[in-house]
């Protein structure tokens, strides 16, 4: 068999490190400048013509120009080194040993991402579009309109993103999702979708009916703990809930030339004589929007008006905003000097912890309660009634007060609210005010049993619109029996969903507080909330 040898390279590497070369030329440059300046000053003092030079002067001048030319173009040295290395790499690739030869080729240095990981082969037409997106000739957001194919648009956008950032999205799924369902409604410029596991807690026995509660979460122990709470509630005869209020809010801010004029509009809006006219204007924006009340607050020349209305089975933010816009247009005829600063002035208050939501409510206001029997507390929850009552008083009430909590007088209501919101297609950001909750516990029936309740004044949920129409989220709503709009009793599905959220929070509070009282929290999290995988192998 003919042996194959690699041809020696005819070009030599520049072996001097670039930083060392730069240091040498910097030193020569500044030394030459310093020497010439000294010589120049000496000649001026001694009246010697500047053009009279010695050999040392000539050497310094040559050194000055040589080092200056280098420093201007020293980046070229690095570029030259890279070009030489590239040429040698090409030569080595041309001389690579055939696969049937017994000689092994040198093992390449591992890169963070191989080219094959970042570049996928696409048809020529798609390849041209990808290149145009990379070069900025086609905006990424315009792909759906241009291609009229949402999956293809997401695929091309994804590939352009990988090439632009040199980062792989290999772990982010692309196929198996209905991108048509989110177009113009749920998400812009998609490149894939995130997978969140969904667990089931229950059955939750609430108001005489059983519910299997879907919870989308990546926190170990959460579903198991809520499930234990459901078990304790079930064994004690179930929980009961009451819807206290149902009204979504929007609060625009308007400005006048004087505080007096702002107060005049406040009095006009709060006058019962004017409510019928305002209600008619507001309700004309929707079949389901029904104005309930208007509350005003003056801040100098500015007026904040908080409109509250029922919104059927929708969460209702868009619905109430349209009604408010109608009223503002109507008011402008009566108050032409009114300047609308913003249709939302944060007095609503949306996606922020706020006392106005805690006190006045927003969305659905629900209270849910249960009496847990003494034997259930001991056998299922592994604690006792007096320990739970004491812990609740010191942790959820006193501790939260010490922390200056706003609506956070509970153990972990937001855990359950977030998990159900993600599973059922609610707005995750509204978990902030929806998790406002005060948990109360007291001993009843001569101290034997435990009365527990959660009061949640601002649960913001809907069963139509937004993410509720996506296939996975719709399936979870269907599991609860609240999918879509209730045509016989509009609004009843969203109200029931709010009650289920409160019931699940009750279960979650009961179980976590029991674990804390029994000293089981750390042990259970070590068992269920820690990965057994070798992370070094997973990351590689």
Catalytic residue among 301, 351, 395, 451: 351
Omega before 193 cis (within 30°)?
no
The answer to whether residues 238 and 211 touch, using CB atoms and an 8 Å cutoff, is: no
pLDDT band at 239 (very low <50, low <70, confident <90, very high): very high
Among 61-65, 134-138, 144-148, the range scoring the smallest mean pLDDT is: 61-65
pLDDT band at 461 (very low <50, low <70, confident <90, very high): very high
Annotation marks residue 167 as catalytic:
no
The per-residue pLDDT for 95 is 41
Cα three-residue angle 228-409-436, rounded to 5 degrees: 85
The per-residue pLDDT for 410 is 98
Summarize the confidence of residues 322-350 as an average pLDDT. 96
Please report how many Cα atoms fall inside a 13 Å half-sphere around the Cα of residue 371, on the Cβ side. 9
Catalytic residue among 88, 207, 219, 270: 219
Whether 324 shows a pLDDT value over 80: the answer reads yes
pLDDT band at 350 (very low <50, low <70, confident <90, very high): very high
Contacts 24+ apart (CB under 8 A), 322-327: 322/285, 322/286, 322/289, 323/250, 323/282, 323/283, 323/285, 323/286, 323/289, 323/291, 324/250, 324/252, 324/282, 325/285, 326/281, 326/282, 326/284, 326/285, 327/278, 327/281, 327/282
* Pairwise CA distance, residues 170 & 338, whole Å: 54
Return the higher-pLDDT residue of 485 and 70.
Answer: 485
Among 30-34, 187-191, 378-382, the range scoring the smallest mean pLDDT is: 30-34
Q: What is the dihedral of CA 249, 464, 211, 509, to 10 degrees?
A: -30
Whether 538 shows a pLDDT value over 70: the answer reads no
Instruction: Please state, for a pLDDT cut of 70, what percent of the chain lies above it.
Output: 84
The per-residue pLDDT for 60 is 79
Among 31-35, 219-223, 482-486, the range scoring the smallest mean pLDDT is: 31-35
The per-residue pLDDT for 10 is 44
Eight-class DSSP state of 464: B
Whether 485 shows a pLDDT value over 80: the answer reads yes
Q: What are phi and psi of 138, to 5 degrees?
A: -120, 120
Summarize the confidence of residues 317-327 as an average pLDDT. 96
Annotation marks residue 487 as catalytic:
no
Q: Which among 193, 204, 197 is positioned nearest to 241, based on CA atoms?
A: 204
Among 83-87, 220-224, 371-375, the range scoring the smallest mean pLDDT is: 83-87
Q: Which among 419, 453, 420 is positioned nearest to 437, based on CA atoms?
A: 453
Summarize the confidence of residues 33-50 as an average pLDDT. 77
Residue 446: left if φ>0, alpha if ψ -120 to 50, beta else—which one?
left
pLDDT band at 537 (very low <50, low <70, confident <90, very high): low
* Pairwise CA distance, residues 13 & 15, whole Å: 6
The per-residue pLDDT for 104 is 39
Instruction: Please state, for a pLDDT cut of 90, what percent of the chain lies above it.
Output: 72
Omega before 463 cis (within 30°)?
no
Annotation marks residue 175 as catalytic:
no
Catalytic residue among 395, 427, 442, 451: 427
DSSP string for 140-157: GGGHHHHHS-HHHHHHHH
DSSP string for 338-363: -EEEES--SSS--SS--HHHHHH--E
The per-residue pLDDT for 278 is 97
Arithmetic mean of pLDDT over the chain:
87
pLDDT band at 241 (very low <50, low <70, confident <90, very high): very high
Summarize the confidence of residues 412-417 as an average pLDDT. 98
Summarize the confidence of residues 488-503 as an average pLDDT. 97
Whether 193 shows a pLDDT value over 50: the answer reads yes
* Pairwise CA distance, residues 141 & 154, whole Å: 10
What's the pLDDT tens digit per position in 437-449?
999 999 999 999 9
Annotation marks residue 442 as catalytic:
no
Question: How far, in Å, are 63, 243, 266, 328 from residue 360 at the CA level?
Answer: 81, 14, 18, 23
């Amino acid at each position: 068999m003919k042996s194959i040898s690699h041809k020696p390279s005819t070009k030599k590497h520049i072996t001097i490190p670039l930083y060392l070369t730069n240091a040498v030329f910097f030193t020569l440059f500044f030394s030459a400048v310093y020497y010439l300046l000294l010589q120049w000053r000496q000649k001026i003092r001694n009246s010697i013509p500047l053009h009279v030079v010695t050999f040392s002067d000539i050497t310094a001048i040559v050194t000055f120009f040589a080092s200056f030319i280098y420093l201007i173009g020293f980046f070229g040295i690095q570029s030259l080194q890279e070009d030489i290395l590239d040429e040698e790499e090409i030569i080595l690739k041309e001389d690579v040993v055939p696969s049937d030869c017994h000689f092994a080729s040198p093992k390449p240095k591992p890169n963070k991402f191989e080219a094959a990981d970042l570049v996928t082969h696409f048809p020529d037409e798609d390849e041209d579009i990808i290149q145009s997106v990379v070069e900025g000739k086609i905006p990424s957001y315009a792909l759906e309109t241009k291609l009229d194919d949402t999956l293809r648009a997401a695929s091309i956008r994804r590939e352009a993103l990988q090439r632009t950032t040199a980062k792989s999205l290999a772990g982010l799924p692309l196929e198996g999702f209905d991108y048509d369902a989110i177009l113009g409604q749920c998400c812009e410029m998609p490149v894939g979708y995130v997978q969140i596991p969904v667990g089931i807690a229950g059955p939750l026995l609430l108001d005489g009916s059983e519910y299997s509660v879907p919870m989308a979460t990546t926190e170990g122990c959460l579903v198991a703990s809520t499930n234990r709470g459901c078990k304790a509630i079930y064994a004690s005869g179930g929980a009961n809930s009451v819807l206290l209020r149902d009204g979504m809010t929007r609060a625009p801010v308007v400005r006048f030339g004087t505080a007096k004029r702002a107060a005049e509009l406040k009095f006009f809006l709060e006058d019962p004589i004017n409510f019928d006219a305002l209600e008619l204007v507001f309700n004309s924006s929707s079949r389901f929007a029904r104005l309930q009340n208007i509350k005003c607050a003056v801040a100098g020349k500015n007026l904040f008006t908080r409109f509250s209305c029922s919104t059927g089975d929708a969460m209702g933010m868009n619905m109430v905003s349209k009604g408010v816009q109608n009223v503002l247009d109507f008011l402008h005829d009566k108050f032409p000097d009114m300047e609308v600063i913003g249709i939302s002035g944060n007095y609503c208050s949306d996606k922020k912890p706020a006392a106005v939501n805690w006190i006045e409510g927003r969305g659905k206001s629900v209270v849910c309660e249960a009496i847990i029997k003494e034997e259930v507390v001991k056998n299922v929850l592994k604690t006792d009634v007096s320990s739970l009552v004491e812990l609740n008083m010191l942790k959820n009430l006193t501790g939260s007060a010490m922390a200056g909590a706003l609506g956070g007088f509970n153990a972990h209501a937001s855990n359950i609210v977030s998990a159900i919101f993600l599973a059922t297609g609610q707005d995750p950001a509204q978990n902030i005010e929806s998790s406002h909750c005060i948990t109360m516990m007291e001993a009843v029936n001569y101290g034997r049993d435990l009365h527990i309740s959660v009061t949640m004044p601002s649960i913001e949920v809907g069963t139509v619109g937004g993410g509720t129409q996506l296939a996975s989220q719709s399936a979870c709503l269907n599991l609860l029996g609240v999918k879509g709009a209730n045509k016989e009793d509009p609004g009843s599905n969203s109200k029931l969903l709010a009650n289920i959220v409160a019931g699940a929070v009750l279960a979650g509070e009961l179980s976590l507080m029991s674990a804390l009282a029994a000293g089981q929290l750390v042990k259970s999290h070590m068992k269920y909330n820690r990965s057994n995988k070798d992370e070094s192998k997973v990351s590689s």
